[in-house]
Chains A and B, each alone.
Chain A
Amino acid sequence: MRRLLLSLTALSLVALAGCATEPWVKPYEREKLADPVMQWSRFSLPDKHREHIHSIREGARGATGVQGGGCGCN
């Protein structure tokens, strides 16, 4: 009986997948998001340099989206 219930639950999940929330922005509606003015970062080196300055001149670190190395900068 337990296995029967599990089988029915699995089948329900498969059926309900068709009723799940669909992406509300279709691929053909995303052209504005590809505009250069909509990029978080257009050039890598200036952003990396800027985050380097922040990390050594201020006491806070992290969550910048830029990975880099350390230094003995003081």
Chain B
Amino acid sequence: MRLPRVLIWLRRRWRGLAAVALAAPAATTGAIAATLPEDRSELMFHSYDGGGVKATGPAVLVRKSLASRVSLSAGVYVDAVSNASIDVVTTASPFKETRNAYDLGAEFLVRDNIVSLGFNHSKEPDYVAQTASVDVSQEVFGGMTTVALGFSRAADKVGQRNTPGFFDKATHWQYRVGVTQILSPRWLASANFEIVADDGYLGSPYRAARVFGAAVPERNPRTRTGRAIKLRTIHETGALWSGSSLRAEYRYYWDTWAIKSSTWEIGGAKRFGERWIVDASVRGHSQDKALFFFDNAQAETTYVSRNRQLSTFTTTSFSAKASYEVRGLLPTGYEMKVAGVYELKRFRFKDFTDVRTGAPYRYDATVLQVLVSIAY
């Protein structure tokens, strides 16, 4: 049977037409809306005080864009740590040390995509960590949906106080994917999934485990793979209370050390006048212990640890933040804000005892952050 001329023409050009068909949906929905973060500088003083550990210091971040296509950032973070935690005071002597961390970042706007490159270098007397990361995000579906992919690799060198050099190393990989969706003119939701894989020395040379009541060096596996999935949503609630919003999030984590944890957070924000924004939130975290965690092991096992971070415990946190826009101090074109954050964190351990009292260990920690932010 001889085909009509038009069908013969279509049969010869099907590859080109297929390419157009695949491109057409993107062409009809793509309005370039991705934007780089705004230029700003932040100066913060931070403080953590709880469980015998005090860590305070300044942090600085500067961000500047070039030709509206690239945004460069650089940051410095200092932790002056005074450590008299329960592990330290029951097995050794309190100590002080300073950790300095440096961040460099570059974000490139390429059509609907933002490509972010990041580098972090953290140094303390007995631990050096270097992390490189790349993240790509793209707005699709008319800017309603943002899809993000990311990868990080970190290489650590592990040392010990009063011992020259480094005795071991650790490597970490992180793979992440996320989707943010506009659900309505007042409602956003996002889902994030991340895999964290570790290889190498994953313990602490200062921490002891307890087997049959005697202190022994802890023995941790040299690999660990964790997965986390986080769902969160934020809704503008101006109809109920002018200039306000509510948000909620939930993360579930599980790993090859048999730790399973649930973390949830509920919070809200409210504008008061033109210059004040106040935030408040409550966060809860609960986790099961690692397979080889024992408060006082009653058998010899290949791996054994008494690291309280791997035990069964809950954390409840209450946080309040207030920010204020300062006007008249800087020339036109600059926007200055000051902010203060206070957080109370309550740690309650179920199977880690305070050897000084024999009771399950518990402590409260306070976090304080004071910040000046200038956008230009």
Give 20 A-B pairs besides A57-B315, A68-B103, A72-B127 with Cβ atoms closer than 8 angstroms. A3-B14, A10-B18, A10-B21, A14-B17, A14-B24, A17-B24, A32-B185, A36-B269, A37-B236, A40-B232, A45-B46, A45-B59, A45-B77, A45-B369, A49-B77, A63-B192, A63-B251, A65-B192, A70-B131, A71-B129
Which residues of chain A (15-73) have a CB below 8 Å from chain B?
Answer: 17-18, 20, 22-25, 27, 29-30, 32-33, 35-38, 40, 42-46, 48-50, 53-54, 56-65, 67-73
B-side residues, CB < 8 A to A, are 3, 7, 10-11, 13-14, 17-18, 20-22, 24-25, 28-29, 31, 33, 42, 44, 46, 48, 55, 59, 61, 75, 77, 79, 81, 83, 85, 87, 99, 101, 103, 118, 120-122, 124, 126-127, 129-131, 133, 135, 141-144, 150, 152, 154, 156, 158, 170, 172, 174, 176, 178, 182, 184-186, 188, 190, 192-196, 204, 206-207, 226-230, 232, 234, 236, 238, 243-245, 247, 251, 253, 259, 261, 263, 269-271, 277, 285, 287, 290, 309-310, 315, 321, 323, 339, 341, 343, 345, 347, 365, 367, 369, 371, 373
B-side contacts of A71, CB under 8 Å: 79, 99, 101, 122, 124, 127, 129
A-side contacts of B236, CB under 8 Å: 32-33, 35, 37-38
A-side contacts of B373, CB under 8 Å: 43
How many chain A residues sit at the interface, stated as a range, is: 35 or more
Distance of A57 from chain B, by nearest CB (Å)? 7
CA A46 – CA B232 in complex, angstroms?
Answer: 19
- B290 touching A59, Cβ below 8 Å: yes
